[in-house]
């Protein structure tokens, strides 16, 4: 997956790197202005919440782009990552997966679940603006997963998860990328029912 970014000339940059340079925040907002998504939660996060999340250290946002020329870029997508605790019921794990999970989390007898520190893919979005060349969703996910592997290589663990709306197209896409649906349910801030899905890297 590391070669994917190089092969397609995709570059990745954390928002925190932009904020550390002079006028970096203004530059970020000028870039984010070009981002469009049919999912308004994904679009609004980048435009109104990503900087604050970076400053509070609650999520790390990565911009994925290509260079048009030395001073102009094409923002093709982005993703945001955060460290969270994931609850996985013991009954949903195969013996091999339970063996792996037990190395990184702990078993909670009361809930018959493993509590595992994991990386949450909090946001994942392609740029649908007509001026952008955009990026295939599968490529964006592969880049995000590769970045997570790099992060975990400096820490510990193997677990990544996400929360998605209960739409067949979305669920099928994540299953194709190796994610397994859990019977955990979450509620978004706008009261949408979300499904949790996880995979081991």
pLDDT tens, residue by residue, 174-193: 999 999 999 876 655 566 78
pLDDT reported for residue 186: 66
Which CATH number is 84's domain given? 3.40.630.30
pLDDT reported for residue 112: 92
DSSP, collapsed to helix, strand or coil, labels residue 53 as helix
Chain mean pLDDT for the chain: 91
pLDDT digits (tens, 9 = 90+) for 67-103: 988 778 999 999 999 999 999 999 888 899 999 999 9
pLDDT reported for residue 4: 58
Name the burial class of residue 197, with classes exposed (0-12), middle (13-18) and buried (19+) by CB atoms within 10 angstroms of its CB.
buried
Confidence band, pLDDT 50/70/90 cuts, at residue 2: very low
DSSP, collapsed to helix, strand or coil, labels residue 17 as helix
pLDDT digits (tens, 9 = 90+) for 141-166: 999 999 999 999 998 889 999 999 88
Q: Where are the alpha helices (DSSP H) in 81-196?
A: 95-104, 137-154, 168-176
Q: Which domain holds residue 175?
A: 2-200
**pLDDT at position 1 over 80:** no
- Averaged pLDDT, 35-64: 96
pTM of the model: 0.90
| Number of structural domains in the chain | 1
pLDDT reported for residue 189: 59
**pLDDT at position 60 over 60:** yes
pLDDT reported for residue 35: 97
Strands (E) in the chain, as ranges, are 11-14, 60-69, 72-89, 106-108, 113-126, 159-165, 180-187, 193-200
* Percent of all residues in the chain with a pLDDT value above 70, rounded to a whole number: 93
pLDDT digits (tens, 9 = 90+) for 9-26: 899 999 999 999 999 999
């Amino acid at each position: 997956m590391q070669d994917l970014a190089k092969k397609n000339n995709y570059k990745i940059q954390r928002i925190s790197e932009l904020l550390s340079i002079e006028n970096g925040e203004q530059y970020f907002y000028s870039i984010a202005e070009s981002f469009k998504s049919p999912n308004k939660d994904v679009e609004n996060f980048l435009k109104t919440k990503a900087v604050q999340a970076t400053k509070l250290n609650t999520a790390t946002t990565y911009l994925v782009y290509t260079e048009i020329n030395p001073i102009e870029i094409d923002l093709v997508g982005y993703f945001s990552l955060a460290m969270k605790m994931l609850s996985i019921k013991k009954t949903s794990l195969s013996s091999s997966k339970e063996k792996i999970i037990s190395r990184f989390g702990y078993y909670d007898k009361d809930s018959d679940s493993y509590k595992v520190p994991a990386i949450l893919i909090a946001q994942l979005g392609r740029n649908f603006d007509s001026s952008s060349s955009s990026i295939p969703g599968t490529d964006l996910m592969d880049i995000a997963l590769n970045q997570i592997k790099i992060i975990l290589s400096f820490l510990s663990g193997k677990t990544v998860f996400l929360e998605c709306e209960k739409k067949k197209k979305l669920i099928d896409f994540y299953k194709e990328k190796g994610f397994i649906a859990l019977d955990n349910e979450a509620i978004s801030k706008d009261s949408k029912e979300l499904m949790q899905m996880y995979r081991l890297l």
